[in-house]
Each structure stands twice: as structure tokens, then as C-alpha cells.
Amino acid sequence: MTDEITIRPATPGDAGAIFHQRRAMFEDVFGALGPDDAATMETTFIPWVRRGLTDGSYRGWLACNGDGHVVAGGGLIVHEWMASPLHPDPRRAYMANVYTEPAYRRRGIARRIVDTIVAWCRTEGLKVVWLHASPFGRPLYESLGFEPTNEMRLRLG
Amino acid sequence: MVTSADDEITIRPATVADIPDLVRLRRVMFEAMDHDDPVKLDAMEEAASAYLAGAIPAGEFHGWVAVTPAGEAVSTSGVVIDQHPPTPANLSGQIGYVMNVVTAPEYRRQGLARRVTQAALEWLDGRGIQRASLHATEMGQPLYESLGFEPTTNEMRLETGK
């Protein structure tokens, strides 16, 4: 293992690695997934993210160690949104799947990933980035200027 | 089409012909949220009209209007389906984002916002969408709570221009 961490854009071939990170992210927050839930999420998420990485509707960034192994990552979806007085541009960027392997935590890698994603948003002229933070991620997002919102949610059906 | 014997106000899906009313009431909503710069509100009306002119025919924006017997639109709601990555509890990853819920001031306290919001939620349910989310004003929060919405505590937002 070397300490030299580089960040690169994800490609469709990274779909499996992103699924691994997403599953591990949920398990960190909610506990282990049952085998059925894990299998269903795998068969749902991997084709979804592979298609998104292919057509650009999902963008990912991965942090790799000196051996080229993926050790952290994050992703972004751009949504259409109605204009508001503060933001006439009908686009909002939603950040997801920010995750670091346990052995690589406390080194600022997630911060580098999030900085990379926010910088990409600025380059694209995206004015608003939003996300749902885990308890682990919240201090990082607060330190970067993210603020809590007035969101409410309903489970249908 | 849903009708009410009490007030004869009818709820129906919005079409491109309703864009002026959707945008006029959207301005009322932002004014209630203390946006008072007429230049920015005018720019919002122009941008929202252009957006809706594309998004309604494309099926990307779904709206509902409450209409008086005289044909006046007095309350609106809207929904956009956002695609998120699938989660264990929501395998489609689709979330119905409810917005543009606003009632003309002289038509408030008659349950119209509830009716247009319910129309949106029933439509989402009929499409098999398992989640709805919104951002509530203080005025709207009791209504959404009574419909089963719960505050989330983990959404965060960054304005990249700041």
C-alpha cells in the first residue's frame, strides 16, 4: 500500500466498485443488509449506474491508492428544477455515494472527493449542490459550507 | 376530475394553457416567502414560463390547478420525478418532488391546497412512486404533517457562488 492517492473520473467499468461503496455506505449507517435486500439492490443498482456513467446522467469520481485500488469515491446527478427568484437556472446538482474504505479514513480523502465534485459543479455553472448527510459525513459538509434545509418526506403506497 | 359540492371548485391536471396562472401563483408563493425584489421575481416568471413550456408537453412537470366555476385558477400544485440512485427501501430510486403548492390569498382556509396536494400524491401513488419530498414553508408545514410528511434532518445544501 502506498499513501499516494489520486482522484479520477469513474467509467462504466467501475459500476461494481461503486455498488460496493454504496452498499458499504448504507451498512455503515443502517447495519448489515439482509441477503435478499443486498441481492435486489445489486441487480437494480449496477445496471442503473452503468447506464448513468455511459450516458452522463450519473457522474462519479474515485480515489485510488498507488496500486490503483479504489479506496474512496463519490457521485453526482444533475436534476431539472423550476426557476426560483434566487436561481433562474433550472438545474440542481445532487451528490451521493460519498464513501471511504475504513482503512483509508481520517486522511481527508472524502474532502478531496467532495471538493472535486463541487469544483466540477462550479465549472459547469451549477449554483446549488444538495445531498443527504450521514452522521459521519455531516461535519465534513458543514465545514464546506453546506447548510441544513426544510425538507419533508412522505412514504407512499 | 374531482369536484366538491361545497364550493364548486374543481381540481384538474394543468396544461400549457395554465402556464400564466401557474407562474402568477408561483410569484405569490415566493412573495409569501419574503422575496420582494420585483426584478428577480420578473426574471423568475420568465424563466419558469420557458421551463414549463417545455416540461409540461414533455411530461417532465405534472401540475394540478383548482378552478372556480368562472374558470379562474386559484390554487396549484406540481410534481417532478427525480431519479436518485436506488436504495434498499426504494429500489426504483424515483422520488416525487412536490412543489408550487400555493393558493390565492382570498381562497385560503378552504382546503384547496390539501386537495391539489392530494391530487399530486394520488397521481404519484398510481405511478408506483414510493417516495415524495418537498420543502415546506412555515405556512405549509401543518398541512404536510397532516398528510403524513415528516421532517428530514439530514438534507444539506450548498450555494456554490457564495
Q: Which of A126, A149, A155 sits opposite B130 (nearest CB)?
A: A155
Q: Answer for the pair B116, B73: CB distance below 8 angstroms, yes or no.
A: no
pLDDT for A157 beyond 80? no
Give A72 to chain B, closest Cα distance, Å: 18
- Mutation to test the A interface, candidates B154, B159, B162, most A Cβ within 10 Å: B154
Spatial distance between the Cα atoms of B129 and B59, rounded to a whole number of angstroms: 15
The residue in chain B having the minimum alpha-carbon distance to the alpha carbon of residue A142 is B156
Per residue in A106-121, pLDDT (tens digit) is 999 999 999 999 999 9
What per-residue confidence (pLDDT) applies to B133? 96
Mutate to test the interface with B, among A19, A20, A21, A82 (most CBs of B within 10 A): A82
User: Which of A90, A138, A152 is nearest residue B151 as measured by Cβ atoms?
Assistant: A152
B132/A146 CB distance under 8 A: no
Contact A152 B80 (CB under 8 A): no
pLDDT > 70 fraction of chain B, expressed in percent and rounded: 95
Cβ-nearest to B124 among A96, A118, A156: A156
CB contact set of B36 (below 8 Å; sequence gap of 6+): none
CB pairs < 8 Å spanning A and B: 174
Instruction: Give A74's strand partners.
Output: A61
Q: Look at residue A40 and give its three-state secondary structure.
A: helix
pLDDT at B91: 87
The reply to whether residue B135 touches residue A80, judged by beta carbons under 8 angstroms, is: no
Distance CA B41, CA B19 (A): 16
Mean pLDDT score, A61-76: 96
Model confidence pLDDT, tens digit, residues A89-104: 888 999 999 999 999 9
Q: Residue holding cell 426504483?
A: B92
Question: Which one, of B135, B117, B157, lies nearest residue A156 by Cα?
Answer: B117
Q: If you measure CA to CA, which chain B residue comes closest to A124?
A: B160
